[in-house]
A and B are shown apart, each in its own frame.
Chain A
Amino acid sequence: MNQSLIQLKGIVKKFPGVLANDHVDLDINPGEIHAILGENGSGKSTLMSVLAGLYKPDAGKILLNGGEQKFRSPRDAIACGIGMVHQHFKLVEPFTVAENIILGEKGNSFFLANKELKAKINELGKKYGLEINLNAKVWQLSVGEKQRVEIVRMLYRGSKVLILDEPTAVLTPQEAGELFENLRRMASAGCAIVLITHKLNEVEAIADRVTVLRQGKLAGVLEHDQINAKEMVRLMVGRAVASKYERDSSPVGGVVLELDKVNAFNDMGLPCLRNMTLCVREGEILGLAGVSGNGQREMAEVIAGLRQVESGKVLLNNGNISNLSPRTIIDLGVAYVPEDRLGMGLVPELNALENLILKNYHQQEYSGRWLLKSQAVARNAETLVKQYQVKISSLHQPIKVLSGGNLQKLLLAREISSSPKLMVVIYPARGLDIGATEAVHKLLLELKKQKTAILLISEDLDEIFKLADRVGVVFDGQLTGDFPVEQANLEEVGLLMTGSSLAKERMNDNEPAHL
């Protein structure tokens, strides 16, 4: 008989105003890779946090090998062999890998027998193919390596069930492939892997079984031979979704934005843009692919006047705008949707009225010499909220209570309504569910129709290939590729994102890389 390793029965978890989990059941078998699929806000992360001991359920039971368990803290869950790797890594950057792995372990004396420990970790690594340099400092590691450290840390603590929260969100396609191989190896060694995701292709690629959640409820469980994209979408969204957008194919106009050999430093004073050169034309979407941390954010800030240009020129309609003040650049018609919606693009404590005039409160339309024109401010907010279909209960409520999708709509509403000549957007759909993503994408395509030049910076290649007219690749502060979208190919862009001609050489020398 197939005994479940873990069973969740009738889990209920309430947050103010939301029923995050509504009597959800879940079975996890040893040795399987089990995907938890659902849109944002469907309750996947909440459910896993209950399993990992972070939240106490309001009702329901957790059974481990058939016996009921109560977790009062993640420590209890870890003691039962359940470990979670969060989306945002919980590592101490200045510490070494080995120090991070033993961190928080009880019973380790400070002067731990170093050799013994390292041998143990190395053995674990060999068993699962997770090789890491134990003496490296964590800040020196790539994102993929950091994730590996998190996984090894959980294994070191004896986890038999490993929960990964959207593990590929931060990885390149290559790194993701590697991760999947490792997960497969761990599963065959008897671990159970629980994968939280909203990407269908990942589920198809790796999962043995998938549990689909929708709006906090269990929508269905699919066995391995039942897994197919169509069925999963149906369970997830309750309707079919457009896989391609209708694109306006009218010819593009003149150059709006041009970066000419721009150099800039990041917050740590290290070079982050190296002779960056690119241009975007009127009515064109340039999709800039790249793993985050390769200078994308800094590039957007340079264009918006928020970061110093060390050398080179930023030209807007042939006028040099490098190192002008942010306000001058805004008034010249540059809109910017930053990656950090809440805290940069929008002010969490302020209400929608106030947030919607953030960039033009000083213009005659909204204020006189001293006082704000409160009627104009209110009219502006009412119109925008209606036009962009932002779901909001009151214009006077702090906007921090809104969902990610509504925040992004609010932000785009403000930026688009300024009728910009150039729009810079970073990761516009990050963290949004399928419905909200579609809405955001349509807004960008609509803006393109109005002849705005759009610089779309993204890690999501699907997004770029769906929206862009041209695909650029950025790596280590340089443009390493630039193709019309019809000539761009997914594998090549993926390889270029990881940098180096090394990737190209490998492709030429050996057999074609299988991705």
Chain B
Amino acid sequence: MNRLTFKLEKRLTPSPVMVFIIPLISVLLALLLGGIFLVLTGENPLTVYSLMFVDSLGSKYGLTETMVKAIPLMLTSLGVSLAFKMKLWNIGAEGQLYMGAMAATWLPLTFPALPIYLMLPGMIILGMIAGGLWALLTAIPRAIWKVNEIITTLMLNYVAILWVDFLVYGPWRDPEGSNFPITASFAEAARLPGLGDSRVHTGLFFALALAVILAIVFKYSRWGYSINVIGSSERAARYAGMNIKRNILLVMFLSGAISGLAGMAEVSGIIGKLQHGISPGYGYTAIIVAWLSKLNPLAILIVSVLFGALQVGGYAVQVEGVPAAVATMLQGAILFFVLGGEVLTNYRLKLVSQKGEELSK
């Protein structure tokens, strides 16, 4: 009697079917795993999940909130995906978002009377420059001395968050704000218009436009080609005469600028002022979103909505006494299964008998 064993065999090319199926199965497995935890904590997973689903995607209000969360996720994910494309591991989208929000806030606080056609473009430009410069701060040592950008971008996150805290607890605190750590509310001219009467703001169009632009850059542009080559093999890029240092600086600046824009959109489109804790970690979730989307800008839009919904669903169940951490747990679990499943896009599982005869695929 032959013994049967499983064997992994490398595929010549990644399976296109698996590329689509694996994320789907991963979400299901993550829900299953989350369900086990919910059962252990004495909740009915079906009730919790349906509540999460209905509250995030099943009503007009829920959908609106989901989109509100999805916009900063889209922008920061697009930002990091640009850097990731060149294998620059920009983990600093969170800090770049805060710096962008900070710089954008400066304009309406200092010149509250500017007309809208100067105010909004000014805030956009300031937010992007600040986010970009914050990222550039790590790109310069990386380009010159090869200082690891993972560490520097990560550490600058804390600096940026604490710097914003310093401002809102200190010099920028609204004297009429009853001691809350918030700045004065922006003038109407400093607010991004909403879509209809909802909280979804025009920042959504920034994300949509950037996604299309990045998709074209990655696929069809001369610059995108060189980013791709540098990311795949720095030695080949140097051999081909590409300027690697200049591209490190440029890509990192733009990556940070896009996250800075996310910060500007948050303060201008949602809150209307700068305050402590403006982001619940969008810049970190962006890393997961970009990775799950395989750095495809259009996929980033979709995955961002999914993760926005998860976050909103998490808040919703909190009202019922279930910790909002359920959402974070599901995020982690999805990433875990997708990474694990990646094996199957590059390998195929085969059932073989001890004698080496193939039985089935």
Contact = CB atoms under 8 A, between A and B. Distances in A.
A12 B356 contact: yes
Most chain A Cβ neighbours within 10 Å, of B232, B238, B241, B355: B241
Contacts of B60: none
B233 A343 contact: yes
Interface in A56-113: 57-59
Interface residues of B, number: 25
A336 B221 contact: no
B220 interface: yes
B241 A371 contact: no
Interface string B239-276: 11110000000000000000000000000000000000
A344 B10 contact: no
A349 B233 CA distance: 9
Given A347-B233, A371-B222, A397 B238 contact: no
Contact of B236 (A15, A305, A347): A347
Most chain B Cβ neighbours within 10 Å, of A304, A361, A401: A361
Given A347-B233, A348-B232, A348-B233, A306 B239 contact: yes
B359 interface: no
B73 to A, nearest CB: 28
Contacts of A350: 228-229, 232
Contacts of A325: 241
A-side interface size class? 35 or more
Contacts of B240: 326, 330, 358-359, 361
Interface in A280-301: none
Nearest to A357: B225
A354 B220 CA distance: 11
Contact of B13 (A336, A372, A397): A397
A49 B9 CA distance: 18
Contact of A345 (B222, B228, B236): B236
A170 to B, nearest CB: 22
B223 interface: yes
A127 interface: no
B221 A372 contact: yes
A506 interface: no
Nearest to B237: A347
B12 A370 contact: no
Given A59-B356, A354-B228, A374-B220, A344 B241 contact: no
A347 B232 contact: yes
Contacts of A344: 233, 235-236, 239
B238 A306 contact: yes
A370 B221 contact: yes
B226 interface: yes
Contacts of B12: 16-17, 401
A207 interface: no
Given A58-B356, A361-B226, A371 B220 contact: yes
B11 interface: yes
A371 B236 contact: no
A205 B229 CA distance: 46
A327 interface: yes
B241 A16 contact: no
Contacts of A336: 239
A362 B216 CA distance: 17
Interface string B209-223: 000000010001111
Interface in A288-326: 304-306, 325-326
Most chain B Cβ neighbours within 10 Å, of A15, A305, A328, A372: A372
Contacts of A266: none
B284 to A, nearest CB: 27
Contact of A361 (B9, B222, B233, B356): B222
Contacts of B236: 343-347, 358
Contacts of A306: 238-239
Nearest to A327: B241
Contacts of B9: 16
A218 B223 CA distance: 51
A367 interface: yes
Given A16-B10, A328-B241, A358-B229, 17 more contacts: A16-B12, A305-B241, A325-B241, A327-B241, A327-B242, A338-B239, A343-B233, A343-B236, A344-B239, A345-B236, A347-B236, A359-B240, A359-B241, A361-B222, A368-B222, A371-B222, A398-B13
Interface of A: 12, 15-17, 57-59, 304-306, 325-330, 336, 338, 340, 343-350, 354, 357-359, 361-362, 367-368, 370-372, 374, 397-398, 401
